[in-house]
């Protein structure tokens, strides 16, 4: 039985906070791997100043390069449409029935878990793993295993603003992702 972590998100762009979260959960739970899975269209947030789903997937692939335990999952990007975790996990479980999935979410998502599509069914399909974030309460009535990780108050929103204002993103984002953003002219970068 393989133990696979799934860290979903927009990854608009992926940053060191995502990588720290994935790596720490992987080690703490002794998972075989963690897959970072960009959404096609997120149901809970409006994307502005966004890269395309394919660009977000490509940036995520660059971000995990070099770590044997972190990979990407293109399930939602290639399926397209609004990305509901319940539907995605149904497809993944059908493809990998011998796998136990651990769905990793930040504290902000813990706070809104009650709003997720078919959440009562989803909690029977996956093990939820929560990682606290600054500014979130991380409270829910749903079963969640919390993992303590270094907290970093970093968001993709902040990074997009830094690119738009032509400010430094050094040490906040992998260099390979930074190069991609600048080559593609994303978020107003040059």
How confident is the model over 143-175, as pLDDT tens digits? 999 998 998 889 999 999 999 999 999 999 999
CATH hierarchy code of domain 2-153: 3.40.50.620
- Asked which of 50-54, 85-89, 133-137, 174-178 is least confident by mean pLDDT, the reply is 133-137
- Mean pLDDT value across residues 88-104: 97
Per-domain residue ranges for the chain? Answer: 2-153
pTM for the structure as a whole: 0.93
Long-range CB contacts (< 8 A, 24+ apart) of 44-52? Answer: 44/112, 44/115, 44/116, 45/10, 47/10, 47/12, 49/160, 49/164, 49/187, 49/188, 50/10, 50/12, 51/12, 51/13, 51/184, 51/186, 51/187
State the average pLDDT over residues 180-185.
96
pLDDT by residue (tens digit) across 38-80?
A: 999 887 666 666 799 999 999 999 999 999 999 999 999 999 9
Rounded to an integer, the average pLDDT of 122-149 is: 89
3-state secondary structure of 156: helix
pLDDT band at 98 (very low <50, low <70, confident <90, very high): very high
Whether the per-residue pLDDT at 135 is higher than 80: the answer is: no
Nearest partner of 138 among 102, 104, 106, judged by Cα: 106
Average pLDDT over the chain, rounded to an integer: 93
The rounded distance, in Å, linking the Cα atoms of 101 and 52 is 27
User: What mean pLDDT comes out for the span 74-91?
Assistant: 95
Mean pLDDT of 117-126: 96
pLDDT for residue 190? 81
pLDDT higher than threshold 70 for residue 181: yes
Average confidence (pLDDT) over 81-88: 94
Residue 115's pLDDT band (cuts 50, 70, 90): very high
Counting residues of the chain whose pLDDT is more than 90, the rounded percentage is 80
């Amino acid at each position: 039985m393989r133990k696979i972590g799934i860290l979903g998100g927009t990854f608009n762009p992926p940053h060191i906070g995502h990588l720290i979260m994935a790596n720490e959960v992987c080690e703490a739970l002794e998972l075989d791997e963690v897959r970072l899975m960009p959404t096609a269209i997120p149901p809970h947030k409006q994307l502005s100043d966004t890269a395309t789903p394919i660009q977000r997937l490509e940036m995520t692939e660059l971000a995990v390069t070099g770590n044997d335990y972190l990979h990407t999952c293109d399930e939602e990007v290639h399926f397209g449409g609004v990305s509901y975790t319940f539907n995605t996990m149904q497809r993944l479980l059908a493809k990998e029935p011998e796998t136990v999935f651990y769905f990793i979410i930040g504290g902000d998502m813990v706070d809104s878990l009650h709003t997720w599509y078919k959440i009562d069914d989803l909690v029977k399909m996956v093990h939820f793993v929560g990682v606290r974030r600054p500014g979130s309460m991380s409270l829910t009535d749903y079963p969640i295993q919390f993992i303590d990780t270094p907290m970093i108050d970093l968001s993709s929103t902040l990074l997009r603003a830094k690119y738009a204002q032509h400010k430094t993103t050094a040490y906040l984002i992998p260099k390979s992702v930074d190069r991609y953003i600048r080559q593609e002219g994303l978020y107003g970068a040059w």
